[in-house]
Amino acid sequence: MMKEQKNIFGNKSKFAIEAILWQIDEEPIFINYCLWIRNNMVGDIGQCALLSAEMEPILKVVQLKGQRQMPFENLTAPVLTDKLIENIWGYASDYSHNVPLSNIDILSYHGECFQGYYVFLIEQQGYEWLLTKDNVDNKYYDMKIPSGIIYSTFKKFSKWIEDSTMLVLRTNNASITNG
């Protein structure tokens, strides 16, 4: 029997995470998810992955809050995104701070970009800047959003995963036996 939970966190016209958790019988739990930036899908909601493999990058987004500050010399979003991609495994020493770019690069997993997209998050005074580039079509999407919105969205997303896997997907076959 297939069990499934769907949800959208946020507003697709601004910033949102769309997700589907699913499981067949007692098999492992899978997740399909994508980001929405100004009505543009970043990722592919049709692409599934093992939930346990996706949890590390998802949780890392919130865990590293406050560690993604970086000066960027008034560069345009595409130029800055390309510079970050060029130096993805180094440090932002060119920007006068030794910020690990692995903190700014979100949702990638051990060198593989997120479903064909590079996704970066930079914290600035009063806002968060989300920068993305499609690795296939070379399309850029970016948005500046008031501080805390991206983090609170990821926090709600993480909590939903935890609640859904513990309370719904795993417990449908639970029973109480009298001893």
36-71 confidence digits (pLDDT tens):
999 999 999 999 999 999 999 999 999 999 989 887
How many domains is the chain partitioned into structurally? 1
Domain-embedded: residue 174: no
Q: Which residue has the tokens 């005074």?
A: 125
Which tokens sit at 115? 């479903």
Give tens-digit pLDDT for 84-108.
Answer: 888 776 555 554 456 677 788 899 8
Q: How far apart are CA 79 and CA 172, in angstroms?
A: 49
Domain-embedded: residue 90: yes
- Report whether 154 contacts 10 (CB < 8 A): no
Domain-embedded: residue 178: no
Domain-embedded: residue 15: yes
| pTM for this prediction | 0.85
- Report whether 160 contacts 9 (CB < 8 A): yes
pLDDT of residue 26 exceeding 60, the answer is: yes
Model pLDDT, residue 159: 94
Q: How far apart are CA 48 and CA 63, in angstroms?
A: 24
Question: What domain range is 13 assigned to?
Answer: 2-169
How much is the mean pLDDT over the chain? 85
Q: How far apart are CA 27 and CA 48, in angstroms?
A: 14
Domain-embedded: residue 177: no
